[in-house]
């Protein structure tokens, strides 16, 4: 057994769990910032600028996506974090279809690995729908006693600028999923041939600054729109830039090169679980039977897909002539 075998087996899994935890925090921080009056255009622009600044030193010392970001944040502004996450859970199915069309994923419905991937994807998406749209009886779970002073202050000051649209918000988030699915296809190929993930992430964040500034400058011309004096705005921008952007993009690119685009996208289902837990702990939201049932289905589907991808990887790595050499 090779030393460090666990890195190949478990590091991609651990990396994607951390990515989804990061995105869960971004959902709550960003929604609170936009409720305080910050626009998604300004938030995205600051995010790309600070993300470039955060990842550039690593690229320099260790090594010598714009459309989908706009769609997601504008969609989030026009709906709630839970519904945005629910729409976002179309991501694995969209990625699977795009992957098959691009020849990067194989259906293999007659093989156990292929059946596991299809079944696991369906169970994951089904669990996300249950968690989002089925409440059931309320669980009388004691609140942890925590509260988020930033959110409370925002609500008291009456800065809330929440928008709500049962059609526009989810539609934009689904559009983000389509864009991100194509991004994953590119990143998978790029990560396999260009072995400098920090530089890749730095360049991606840097070049996205210019279209972000152009769109944001047109949509938000008042200096007050760009103010970061509010603590929640500054925290939201820095968090979104460093955790899900600089670190998250790098980890997703690395995992996509190791395990493929479907493996990355299926972990998106964990985001809804993390958001539900954080909303309960920090925002005082209630937990329901549907929350637990949906979470169980998501974890079960996630495990099934991971098993299928692992079996598929083993098959590719096993030489076809291996059975001839057993007796030698």
Higher pLDDT among residues 110 and 327, named by residue: 110
CA atoms within 13 A on the CB side of 98: 21
Mean predicted lDDT score pLDDT of the chain: 75
For the chain, the straight-line distance linking the first and the last C-alpha, in angstroms and rounded, comes to: 20
Mean pLDDT score, 21-38: 85
Give the separation between CA 75 and CA 184, rounded to whole angstroms.
Answer: 20
Mean pLDDT score, 84-106: 73
Predicted pLDDT at 326: 40
Q: What is the pLDDT of residues 148-164, one digit of tens each?
A: 555 555 544 444 444 45
In 3D space, the residue among 11, 100, 107, 31 whose CA is nearest the CA of residue 72 turns out to be 31
Give the separation between CA 71 and CA 37, rounded to whole angstroms.
Answer: 18
Higher pLDDT among residues 287 and 45, named by residue: 45
Give the separation between CA 202 and CA 53, rounded to whole angstroms.
Answer: 8
Mean pLDDT score, 303-312: 82
Q: What are phi and psi of 288, to 5 degrees?
A: -130, 170
Give the separation between CA 172 and CA 76, rounded to whole angstroms.
Answer: 8
**Whether 272 contacts 19, CB under 8 Å:** no
Residue ranges per structural domain of the chain: 4-153+177-315
Give SS3 for 315. Answer: helix
- This prediction has a pTM of 0.68
Mean pLDDT score, 32-50: 87
Give the separation between CA 264 and CA 257, rounded to whole angstroms.
Answer: 10
Predicted pLDDT at 130: 80
Q: Where are the alpha helices (DSSP H) in the chain?
A: 5-35, 40-63, 67-77, 81-88, 91-101, 112-133, 149-157, 168-193, 197-219, 231-240, 248-259, 261-266, 269-283, 289-317
Q: What percent of the chain has pLDDT over 70?
A: 74
Read off the tokens for 120.
Answer: 């696991």
**Whether 138 contacts 288, CB under 8 Å:** yes
pLDDT at 171 > cutoff 80: no
Q: What angle do CA 311, 314, 318 make, to 5 degrees?
A: 140
Q: What are phi and psi of 311, to 5 degrees?
A: -65, -40
> What is the band of 32 on the pLDDT scale with cuts at 50, 70, 90?
confident
pLDDT at 322 > cutoff 60: no
Q: What is the pLDDT of residues 236-258, one digit of tens each?
A: 899 988 888 888 888 888 888 78
pLDDT at 67 > cutoff 70: no
């Amino acid at each position: 057994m090779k030393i460090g075998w666990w890195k190949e087996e478990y590091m991609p899994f651990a990396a994607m769990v951390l990515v989804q935890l990061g995105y869960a925090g971004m959902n709550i921080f960003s929604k609170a910032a936009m409720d305080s009056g910050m626009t998604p255009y300004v938030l995205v622009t600051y995010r790309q600028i600070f993300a470039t600044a955060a990842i550039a030193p690593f690229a320099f010392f260790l090594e010598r996506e714009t459309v989908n970001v706009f769609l997601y944040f504008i969609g989030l502004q026009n709906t709630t974090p839970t519904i945005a996450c629910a729409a976002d859970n179309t991501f694995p199915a969209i990625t699977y279809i795009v992957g098959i069309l691009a020849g990067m994923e194989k259906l293999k419905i007659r093989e156990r690995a292929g059946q596991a991937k299809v079944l696991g994807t369906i169970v994951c998406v089904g669990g996300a729908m249950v968690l989002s749209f089925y409440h059931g009886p309320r669980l009388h779970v004691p609140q942890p006693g925590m509260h988020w002073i930033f959110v409370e202050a925002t609500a008291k000051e009456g800065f809330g600028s929440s928008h709500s649209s049962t059609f526009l918000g989810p539609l934009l988030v689904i559009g983000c999923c389509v864009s991100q699915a194509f991004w994953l296809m590119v990143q998978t190929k790029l990560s396999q041939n260009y072995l400098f993930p920090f530089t890749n992430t730095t360049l991606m964040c840097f070049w996205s600054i210019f279209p972000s500034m152009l769109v944001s400058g047109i949509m938000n011309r008042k200096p007050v729109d760009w103010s970061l004096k509010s603590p929640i705005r500054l925290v939201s921008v820095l968090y979104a830039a460093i955790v899900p952007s600089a670190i998250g993009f790098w980890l997703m690119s690395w995992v996509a090169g190791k395990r493929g685009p479907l493996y990355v996208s299926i972990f998106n289902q964990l985001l809804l679980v993390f958001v539900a837990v954080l909303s309960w702990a920090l925002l005082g939201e209630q937990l329901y039977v549907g929350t637990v049932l949906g979470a169980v289905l998501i974890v079960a589907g996630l495990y099934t897909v991971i098993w299928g991808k692992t079996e598929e990887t083993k098959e590719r790595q096993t030489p076809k002539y291996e059975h001839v050499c057993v007796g030698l």
